[in-house]
Amino acid sequence: MNRRLAVRLVAVAFVVLVALNASAAPIPRLGPVDVTGTIVEAQWTPEQNIKGIPGMSGTLGIDRVVHAHFVVALEQYEGVDPKTARRMTGYLDPSAPRELDSSEAPKRILLQLNHEDRDFLKRGMRITVTGYKIAGDEGGTWTSFTEIKILPASGQ
């Protein structure tokens, strides 16, 4: 399958997922929040150029760049309430449980962290992300933060 077709299929799949989850475009902004947790998964994605789809609204209709980034799963986290934790994860994983009125905190949360260095974050690191924000529309979800601090390992 050629790259252009693959990008379009991903974009269409995203629109369908958003529609199925009854999310409005643009998505309600989240943050800024400060989150500390232990990385249990870290997946890095290189920068991608995505062609807009003519006639589509929002950023889905324009050419855009998705910066190189990590999606990290944090456990043993603190700094956000259960409702915010579910929203944060739901924006990045539409299949995640969305019981926003639940007082039970999810075991893990997902964060998307732009970074060029694929070796910067690793499983087992404890980090603090300050000023984390999420925004987006039908063309994608984008995040920003003020700083990532790598904390000393426990017992040091």
Residue 19's pLDDT band (cuts 50, 70, 90): very low
Contact (CB, 8 A) for 86 and 53: no
Per-residue pLDDT, 101 = 61
HSE at residue 61, side-chain half, CA atoms within 13 A, is: 5
Write out pLDDT tens, residues 65-93: 889 999 999 999 999 999 999 999 988 88
Three-class secondary structure of residue 13 per DSSP: helix
What is the 8-class DSSP label of residue 117? Answer: -
CB neighbour list of residue 51: distance below 8 Å, 6 or more residues apart: 4, 7, 8, 63
Q: Are 132 and 31 in contact (CB under 8 A)?
A: yes
Of 110 and 60, the structure prediction assigns the larger pLDDT to 110
pLDDT in tens, 90-132: 888 888 876 656 778 899 999 999 999 999 999 999 999 999 9
- CB-CB neighbours of 118 under 10 Å: 13
CA distance 62 to 11: 12
Percent of the chain with pLDDT strictly greater than 90: 52
pLDDT over 90 at 55, yes or no: no
Q: Across the strands, what pairs with 108? A: 75
Return the SS3 of 86.
helix
- Tell me the whole-structure pTM to 2 decimals: 0.76
